[in-house]
Amino acid sequence: MTLNKQLELLLPKVEKPARYIGGELNTVSKVTEEGMTRFGFAFPDTYELGMSYLGLQILYKSLNDMDSVFCERIFAPALDMERELRSAGLPLFTLETKTPANELDLLGFTLQYELSYTNVLNMLDLSRIPLRSCDRGETDPFILGGGPCAFNPEPVADFFDFFLIGDGEESIRQVCELHQQWKRSKADRNVFLSTISSLPGVYVPGFYQPMYDEKCTVSEIKVLNDSAPARVTKSVLSDLNSFDFPEAPIVPLIEVVHDRSVIELFRGCTRGCRFCQAGMIYRPVRERSKESILALADAQLKSSGYDELSLLSLSTSDYSCFEPLALELVAWGRENNVSLSLPSLRLDSFSFQVLQEIQKYKKTGLTFAPEAGTQRLRDVINKSITEDDIFTGVKQAISLGWYTVKLYFMIGLPTETKEDLDGIVNIAAEIMQLARQGGGSGKSNRFQLSVSISNFVPKAHTPFQWVAQDEPHVFTEKHMYLKDRLKKLRGVQYQYHGSDASRIEAVLARGDRRLSDVIEQAWSLGAKFDGWREHFRYDLWLQAFDATGIDPTFYTSGTVSTGTVLPWNVIDSGVTTDYLQAEWESAKGEVQTQDCRLGCTGCGINTFTTCPMEGSQ
């Protein structure tokens, strides 16, 4: 019986069979031929999350535009589907052709979140692919990883044959072209890895060996292969307009997390928030042209039938042509009955003008991200927003009829004090007072303020990569401190992230290669879907640490000297260590660094790629 026929019997037994059937609008179908590279784009979470990820749409198009490559999708099965697959003895498969994943040539995982690592192992196991690269044979697929977590790939280095660091549009195509040449040569796996290791952004962990001192700190990273560079420089797509963006996105069969058309305005950020990894690793800023965005919006909506368009970037209103673009899209959306989503806006009058126009045909809430409760701490983290910005913005929002506001804060930031926590409560109290003053008695009762708290996690390639993280019990104490004070404010809702999950995230974010044993042990004990609060099992992770003899506090406690060899030192993000160290010193001195749109701050990104901010004044 074919796999397709077996799935027909199996799918009626699971909650959402549409997650696994494929055939959505705008998917690609190809006749597979000998010599073709079969690529599996693997997202280590459910269909609903994976189909909301723009990177999937971009790379799916980029690869399938090549005649000699067929890219198919693979998602982590939900628990009910996994049970059915294992019970029936069926392997994990692609959505497009129901091909078993272990029959592909290349299987690429996007690593968006450290807590997805056990899902990667679970998907490899379901695919009947050896977990460790050293155990794979000539007939096994090459396993590659990419995404933000690949900027510190060491905790999962033993499971991957190679990583793609940085922008993937061009580098993944180059890898596939070299794979076809290698395939024709019939050489062994190591020849292929040696060949691609010379490409920008390709990191082959098997060609490097971390050495440890008596304190288990990395003392040196040895290069074991002559073709491997001493440092792997990230791949950069210098011109977004030169690469075709999806005009016909895949339309999911079921509701997903972000079920709408999405266009990337620009890549990178100039703000320089010191806790933000994305703001560092995605430099330099590269913008898509206004004309291209308008044309893409029209094409995507016609090809998909969506009635909502979202413009994606790290700071939407920093787009250089934002005002004319936003006004044109608002008018266009009204005419075509398409709602417009503009996340990450500045708190200025023009943003509210645009939002007010959107509000006429789509009711939304407003989201502000002060991140810290006091100006002192915002100076430390280089967050260029003041309380006056916040309160002026809220006043304007209330006057224009908004009754739902959400504030994002982070706790556990470097140098944080009790006064910084009190500052969060004070901001919330002031906003509720403004609501009472500006809305009248009836309207003020409708006003709702949500305060959402996340826990600081030090990330690689940021000025805070050397900083300790609060222990879970300290986070919990801070959560309860805020809860006790915020519950006294009528109309304020309070949400916070789990302390234990943040602890594991920090260990994996700053960890070294020894953690591969911990991750495999945690998975073998049953850890999976760790990013989901209802599935996360801290006790399993603690058992895994005990079983491997590794102390998690080694990676989270105590500020590390800036001269220490870090596990990810072999990866070059383009931002120099000198710059990150200078930013750490500025943070300790509570000194802000200007937005680099106002003048180059010397991060070093211009040493290997053109930076449009260099020389700006």
Residues 287-326 have pLDDT tens digits of 999 999 999 999 999 999 999 999 999 988 889 998 889 8
The pLDDT value given to residue 344:
73
Which is higher by pLDDT, 539 or 438?
539
Global confidence as pTM: 0.95
Amino acid, res. 229: P
- Greater confidence, 613 or 315? 315
For the segment 171-175, the average pLDDT, to the nearest whole number, is: 97
Q: Is 562 helix (H, G, I), strand (E, B) or coil?
A: coil
Query: Nearest 10 degrees: CA dihedral of 115, 116, 122, 125?
Result: -120
pLDDT (average), residues 244-269:
94
**Which ranges in 405-471 belong to alpha helices (H)?**
418-444
Beta bridge partners, 41, equal 73, 108
pLDDT of residue 283: 95
Average pLDDT over residues 396-416: 90
User: How buried is residue 563: exposed, middle or buried, by Cβ count under 10 Å (0-12/13-18/19+)?
Assistant: exposed
- Cβ pair 75, 50 in contact under 8 A: yes
pLDDT at 363: 59
Is the predicted pLDDT of residue 136 greater than 70, yes or no? Answer: yes
Inter-CA distances, 571 with 234, 281, 363, 552, 609, Å: 7, 11, 44, 23, 16
Could you give the count of Cα atoms lying within 13 Å of 58 in the half-sphere of its Cβ? Answer: 18
Report which residue type is found at 320.
S
User: What pLDDT was estimated at residue 397?
Assistant: 82
For residue 168, pLDDT over 50 is answered with yes
- Per-residue buried b or exposed e for 531-540, using 16+ beta carbons within 10 Å of the residue's own CB: beeeebbbeb
pLDDT of residue 436: 87
Helix axes 387-399, 349-359, angle to 10 degrees: 30
Q: How far is CA 558 from the centre of its chain?
A: 26
CA nearest to 257, candidates 61, 47, 19: 47
In order, the DSSP letters of 218-232 are EEEEEE--TTS-SSE
CA 608 – CA 238 distance, rounded (Å) = 11
Q: List the structure tokens of 585.
A: 């010193």
Instruction: Provide the phi-psi class of 413: left if phi over 0, else alpha when psi is between -120 and 50, else beta.
Output: beta
The pLDDT of residue 395 is 87
Other CB atoms within a 10 A radius of the CB of residue 609 amount to: 18
Return the number of other C-beta atoms located less than 10 Å from residue 342's C-beta. 23
**What is the reported pLDDT for 394?**
86
> What's the mean pLDDT when you consider all of the chain?
93
Cβ atoms of 372 and 423 closer than 8 Å: yes
**Contact 55/42 with Cβ under 8 angstroms?**
no
Q: What is the pLDDT of residue 361?
A: 63
Domains, the chain, in order of start with CATH, read 3-233 (3.40.50.280), 260-362+573-617 (3.30.750.210)
Least confident of 56-70, 101-115, 318-332, 468-482: 318-332
What is the DSSP secondary-structure string of 11-26?
Answer: GGGSS-GGGS----BT
Give the lowest-confidence range in 9-23, 46-60, 301-315, 387-401.
Answer: 387-401
Mean pLDDT value across residues 406-426? 97
Place of tokens 């560092």: 280
Which amino acid is residue 306, in one-letter code? Answer: Y
Contact 72, 97 (CB under 8 A): yes
Helix 515-525 vs helix 538-548: crossing angle, to nearest 10: 130
Q: Would you state the pLDDT for residue 608?
A: 63
Phi, psi of 232 (to 5 degrees): -95, 115
Q: Are strands 37-43 and 366-371 parallel, antiparallel or unpaired?
A: unpaired
Which three-class secondary structure state does DSSP give residue 207? helix
In this structure, what token pair is assigned to residue 124? 């490899």
Condensed to tens digits (0 to 9), the pLDDT of residues 138-160 reads 999 999 999 999 999 999 999 99
pLDDT tier, 341 (very low <50, low <70, confident <90, very high otherwise): confident
- Length reported for the chain: 617
How many Cβ atoms from other residues are within 10 Å of residue 16's Cβ? 16
The residue among 374, 286, 268, 272 whose CA lies nearest residue 594 is: 272
Asked whether residue 348 carries a pLDDT value surpassing 70, the answer given is no
What pLDDT was estimated at residue 382? 97
Burial of 331 (0-12, 13-18, 19+ CB in 10 A): exposed
Residue 442: pLDDT above 50?
no
Q: Let me know: does 421 contact 411? Beta carbons within 8 Å.
A: yes
Question: Does 284 sit behind a cis peptide bond, omega within 30 degrees of 0 on the bond before it?
Answer: yes
pLDDT at 445: 66
